[in-house]
Chains A and B, each alone.
Chain A
Amino acid sequence: MIPQEFEYSAPTSLEEALHLISDGSAKVLAGGLSLIPLMKLRLAAPGHVVDLGRVPGLSYIREEGGKLHIGAMTTHYQIESSALVHSRCPLLAETAAHIGDVQVRNAGTIGGSVAHADPAADYPAALLALDAQVRLVTASGERTLPIQDFLVDTLTTALEPGELVAEVIVDVDVDGATGFCYQKMAHAASGFAIVGAAVRVRRSNGRVSFSRVGITGLAPKAFRATGVESLLQTPDDVASAAGAVADGIEANSDLAASAEYRCQMARVYTARALRQALARIA
C-alpha cells in the first residue's frame, strides 16, 4: 500500500507542465483517484509525477461558439453543480452526479477520467452521446479528436507521450427540445458502471428526428450504439431499438456480471434511458 519512490513536480504554468512531461517519461496527476491507487498497489510505478493541481487555467466551464468547453481539471462536482452545464448540457451534469460518491466527485476530474479510459467510467457514455471532442496539447502544438477516436481500448487512449488533455468540448442543447438521460447500474462494491446508457433524443412530427446513444461498461471501451439510433424511428420503437444495443458486441464479464447478464442489462437500461429522455422533451 506504499508506492515506489518517485520524483514529484508541481508546475505552476501550463508551459512548465508541458515541458516537464515532454519527454514522455512522466505521469500526470490530476485528482489522483485512479492513478494513486495503482501506484499504492505498485501496479504503476512512474519515476516522475507531474501534478496539475497548481496549473492555473485548466478548470473552467464556458460557452463558446455554440459549444461548451470544459477544462481538464474541472471536477465531477463542479460539473454536477454548474448552472451552465445544467442549462446547456444537462446530460453531462446528470452523468457527473452518478460518479462514485461525494468525496470522489470533489477530487476527480473530467480530464483524468477520459485519460484513464476505464471501460466502466461514466463520462465516456455521455461524451459519445454529446458528440464530444477532446482537445490535446503538447509543448509544441495541439490537436482535437472526436471522443470515439480518442478512446482506443480498455485503459488505452490516443494520447501520445508528452500530450495533455486540455479540455473537453461538448454540444449544447438549447431550448429543452432535446430529451436526455443517463441510467446506470452500479457495481455494488466499486460503484463503477456494470452498464451505463447516456442518451439524447429529439422528436418532430411524432418521429424521433435525432438520437445519440452512448454505452459504457458493456464493452472493452465505451461506444456509440449507432444500431440503436437507426432503429429508433418513433417513440414506439424504444424496446426493439434498445434490444439491439449489444448486437455484435463482445461483452465484458467479471465477478459481478457475466457477459450475458451485462448484455441484457444494457438493453434494459438503454430502454429506460430512452423512455425517460423522450418523456423529458419539453
Chain B
Amino acid sequence: MKVAGEYLLAAAPDRAYDLLQDPEVLARCMPGCDHLARTGPDEYEMRMKMVISSIQGLFAGKVSIADQDRPAGFRLVVEGNGKVGFMRGDGLLTLVPQPGGTEVRYEGEVRVGGMIAGVGQRLLDTTAKMIIKRFFSKLAAQVDGASSSGAGA
C-alpha cells in the first residue's frame, strides 16, 4: 500500500529535522507508543498499543533511520509485530522550507501481513492514513508546545 502526503510544521527545517529524530518526541507522537528506546545509532526499539475504536493490537518493533541528509530529509523504517499481524512502513521524508515553517513530505510503502492483511482490506488504507495523520498532528502539537515554551524561556 502506497502512502504519500505532506504536513506543515511551524518550525524551521533544522528544528523540524531534529524533532522528527528525537526519540522522546517520536515516542510521544507515535500513536499508542508506550516505550521507545535507543538500541544503536539511528535504531530504536519500540512498543505500541494501537487502539482504533474497539480494535486494538499490541505491536513490538523497531524504528530505524537511514540516508540522513540534514535538514533536507531522511528515510524512516518502522516495523511492528504482534498477534494480529505485522507491518513494515518504509518511507522517505523530505523537508521543504516554507514561509512560516517546514513542509514535511512523506512518500512510502506500508506492507502488512498476518490477520490484519487478510481481514481488513476494506479499512486498511483509511486506517493507515488516520495513523499517519494522528502522528503528524501530535507532532504539530509538540512543535507548538515546544515553541511556546521556548518563547517563554
Residues on A facing B (Cβ under 8 Å): 27, 35, 38, 41-46, 116-120, 153-157, 187, 190, 192, 220, 250, 252-256
Contact = CB atoms under 8 A, between A and B. Distances in A.
Interface in B108-130: 115-116, 119-127, 129-130
Interface residues of B, number: 23
Contact of B123 (A44, A45, A155): A155
A252 B126 contact: yes
A117 B115 CA distance: 21
A72 to B, nearest CB: 16
A253 B105 CA distance: 20
Max chain B Cβ within 10 angstroms of own Cβ: one of A35, A116, A120, A154? A154
A2 to B, nearest CB: 14
Interface of B: 5, 52-57, 83-84, 115-116, 119-127, 129-130, 133
A220 B126 contact: yes
A38 B122 contact: no
Contact of B129 (A27, A156, A220): A220
Contact of A190 (B52, B122, B129): B122
B125 A252 contact: yes
A156 B133 CA distance: 13
B18 to A, nearest CB: 29
Contacts of A42: 83-84, 115
Main secondary structure of the interface of A (DSSP, over half): loop
Given A41-B119, A43-B115, A27 B54 contact: yes
A118 B123 CA distance: 9
A126 B115 CA distance: 32
Contacts of A38: 54-55
Contacts of B5: 250
Contacts of B54: 27, 35, 38, 43-44, 46
Contact of B126 (A44, A45, A154): A154
A119 B126 CA distance: 8
A92 B101 CA distance: 46
B115 A254 contact: no
8 contacts: A41-B119, A42-B84, A43-B115, A43-B119, A44-B54, A154-B127, A156-B53, A255-B122
Contact of A254 (B84, B119, B121): B121
B56 A250 contact: no
B83 to A, nearest CB: 7
